[in-house]
Amino acid sequence: MPDEERMSIEERYKYLRGQRRRYEVADREGKGELLSEMEAVTGLGRKRLIRLMGSEPRRKERIGQRGATYPDAVRRAVLVVAESLDFVCAERLAPSLEWTARHLCEWGELELSEAAFGQLGQISTSTVRRILASVPRERWRLPRSSPRPNPIAREIAVERIAWDIAEPGHVEIDLVHHSGRSGEGQYLHTLQAIDVATGWSERVVVVGRSYLAMAEALAQITEQLPFPLLEVHSDNGAEFLNYHLLRFWKQEQPQATLLRSRPYHKNDNPFVEQKNFTLVRAYVGYSRLDSPRQALLLAQIYELMRSYYNYFQPVMHLVEKRHCRDENDRLHTKRRYDRAATPLDRLLALCGEENDSLKREVEARLALNPRHLRERIYQLLGELRATPGASALGDVRQIIEAMHQHSAFSITLPKEAALSR
């Protein structure tokens, strides 16, 4: 019997308690048939099943509890690192425990001995999962009509970026709307780009969907990427597929190949679609954002998230995908993932540590405290949720004036000339 179909111990005893009532009233022949059935279902021997049917089948309590393998200091360190990395899953957290703990010690967030560091380096994923289970969930992070054919789409190839590509620069992009329940007026958008090979992510605040706003946003993203752009994969939205942006790509990034998804196939952009929730919706939510203050706060949040996720958040990458059939001849896919690593570490492994742009990123990481980054992100999120929207349906001119006066963060906005068109 395959492991995924095998009963757990509690399930087995529950099943046997139900069968015992039938066993007590059955005749000799019926008891033999029941024993054969229980033997096939549970995998237990016939003699043991006969003994279990003699009394109420219950699991025996452990006489002596097993002692803890890791001391309380190590367990507390796991929780501090988990909180610093926003409670990622155990599979992503375990490989980064030792390095992140050492980094936090340099910032005075932890005090650990060398023995404790060694234990953090060898702790198993299942143990990390049990430690995380002790944290209350309250501390964790929150919860068509046929369009007219787009003529520009005929000039863009329909193709998917390979999931097992091992070269940075193959990027998926998408636009997330912050319109709330109404799509009227002007409101904020998030333009997000995800590198398939490394998981490197960039986010930019965009007001409206004009080609000028989109061109400035795309220019900012390409400037921030620490590697050259080779492929750009988008959906079929008109904000991406128009002659103005096609001219932009040919002039600004002539080496980049443009690709698009099949119509109505969101999973052709799986990496950015998944991050649209985990890195945008899970933080910002689904409310309408359309005021200058909201634009400023969201820009600051994305600036901090760029460092927080690319420098400190470990991600897993798919390394094997096999299609196979089970014993019932049902087709399913088995996936295997590699060891979790941060996007910056994946870039260093692929491009080498001599890359000048990556050297600057490494220096920037060493100068940052992930706990402080997370606290600041959540502080700004609280301010964003408490900030009211615009009194009208979103005044673009007010947003532009506010953002142009704020030079700390680069926000992509349409130029004033675009408003008169």
Range of the domain at 22: 3-52
Beta bridge partners of 194: 172, 201
- Report CA dihedral (166, 172, 178, 180) to the nearest 10 degrees: -100
Q: Tell whether 67 is covered by a domain.
A: no
Residue the block writes with tokens 């599979």: 91
Q: Indicate the Cα dihedral angle 379, 386, 302, 212, nearest 10°.
A: -160
pLDDT band at 378 (very low <50, low <70, confident <90, very high): very high
Q: Are 36 and 77 in a shared domain?
A: no
Residue in 205, 203, 270 with CA at minimum distance from that of residue 403: 205
Q: How far apart are CA 78 and CA 70, in angstroms?
A: 11
228 lies in the same domain as 85:
no
User: Same domain for 106 and 202?
Assistant: no
Express each pLDDT in 131-150 by its tens digit.
Answer: 998 888 666 665 545 557 78
Residue 346 tokens, joined: 């994946």
Q: With a cut of 90, say whether residue 155 has pLDDT above it.
A: no
Sequence-distant (6+) residues with CB within 8 A of 159 are: 233, 259
**What does the block give as tokens for 174?**
């998408």
Answer yes or no: do 319 and 202 share one domain.
Answer: yes
What does the mean pLDDT of the chain come to? 86
Of 139, 163, 193, the domain-final residue: 139
Q: Which helix (H) or strand (E) holds 10?
A: helix 9-25
Residue 411 has pLDDT above 50, yes or no: no
Q: What's the predicted TM-score (pTM) here? A: 0.74
59 in a domain, yes or no? Answer: no
Please say if the pLDDT value at position 214 is more than 90: yes
Q: Is pLDDT above 70 for 196?
A: yes
Same domain membership, residue 160 and residue 288: yes
For the chain, how many structural domains are there in total? 3
Is 169 found in the same domain as 226? yes
Q: In this predicted model, what pLDDT tens digit does every residue of 337-375 receive, in sequence order?
A: 999 999 999 999 999 888 888 999 999 999 999 999 999
Segment (H or E) for 158: strand 157-158
